[in-house]
Structure 1
Amino acid sequence: MASPIQVTAAGLQRLQGSLDRERERAEEARRVLREQMEANEAESLGLTEAQQHLAAIEARIEELEGMIADAEVLPASTSDAVALGSTLTLLNVENGQVRRVRLVSPVEATGSVDGVALISTQSPVGAALLGRRVGETFSVRLGGRTAEYQVRSLEEA
């Protein structure tokens, strides 16, 4: 067994949803493949493409199943410090932009969910957020510049 992948409960639900969608895609790909084979087009480009498409979907299903099997759901944090799974309001001090973000594991960091940006703990901003408290200001090196942020609020899980 691989080492555990730490995820939030919501992250595990998203992984399971992705797995369900991929399984549906695999069923559709199998249907197309059967139709190609029944059409007796064994030499056709369509059959080869259908086989490759199905193989890619099945590989993704296997990857998702492995992640889910190795998932370790973290309990909701009750700390007043930012931790994996924390949802917080973050101020970009330079431009005044305020964003709601959630600190997640790398496998969960897929953009945003319900207007909350999902930030990996392995990203520069995510790593710098760990352990911060409301009101703390911190700097992060992003490429050729330094950005300054402030933790404005920390939501209870």
Structure 2
Amino acid sequence: MVRERPIVLTPEGKAALEQELEQLRHVKLPALLERLQQLSNEGDISDNSEYEDTKEELVLTEARIREIEHILRRAQMVAHTGPGDEVRLGSRVTVIDDEGVTEHWVIVSPEEANAAQGRISIESPVGAALLGKRAGTTVVVKAPGGEIRLTIQRIE
């Protein structure tokens, strides 16, 4: 029997997934179904690339809906009790690299990771290197592009 790992979400991550699910169910899915109906009413769909693209987008949208539903069913909320002295799931971390560039990240589960929004996974090279460390600590991250040295400035 395969045992699935627990899914732990931050309150913000859970809210974002719930919002995405609502948008997919009530806006995107109906729009795709309506577009498919329009395209099929226009005539021959056997060689219609727009119809095929819309059908593919519908399949991907339905798959994402099922994925989010699965995540939310199994999700546990992170017990965030305010600022801690170590980086943990849900921590807001400020780091500075060797070139003096400061970055702010929230450490999250893979299901809510989004680097563009400053939310990095505990399973990413950076997230894994920071986990369990204290402010003032310098970590070396082995990334695909080489090693990066980061100093933890603040943990919230």
Same fold by TM-score, threshold 0.5 exceeded?
yes
- TM-score interval, normalised by the smaller of the two chains: 0.7 to 0.9
1:8 equivalent in structure 2: 10
> 89, 95, 118: which is aligned to 1:90?
95
CA distance in 2, matches of 1:61, 1:12: 14
For 2:42 and 2:143, the matched residues in 1 are separated by 55
User: 1:140 corresponds to which residue?
Assistant: 141
Matches within 5 A, 1:61-100: 61-78=65-82, 79-92=84-97, 94-100=98-104
Residues 51-130 of structure 1 aligned to structure 2 (within 5 Å): 51-78=55-82, 79-92=84-97, 94-113=98-117, 117-130=118-131
Q: 2:130, 2:104 → 1: CA distance?
A: 13
Give the superposition deviation at 1:90. Answer: 0.6
SS of the aligned residue for 1:33 comes to helix
- C-alpha distance 147-17 of structure 1, shift in aligned 2 (>3 A): same
**Distance (Å, rounded) in 2 between the aligned partners of 1:77 and 1:40:** 60
* One-letter amino acid of the counterpart of residue 28, structure 2: R
Partner of 1:20: 22
In structure 1, list runs of 5 or more residues that go unmatched: none
Percent identity reads: 30
Unaligned runs of 5+ in 2: none
Q: CA deviation at 1:152?
A: 0.6
Cα distance in 2, alignment partners of residues 81 and 143 from structure 1: 26
Higher helix share: 2
RMSD, aligned CA: 2.0
Task: Name the TM-score, length of structure 2 as normaliser.
Answer: 0.85
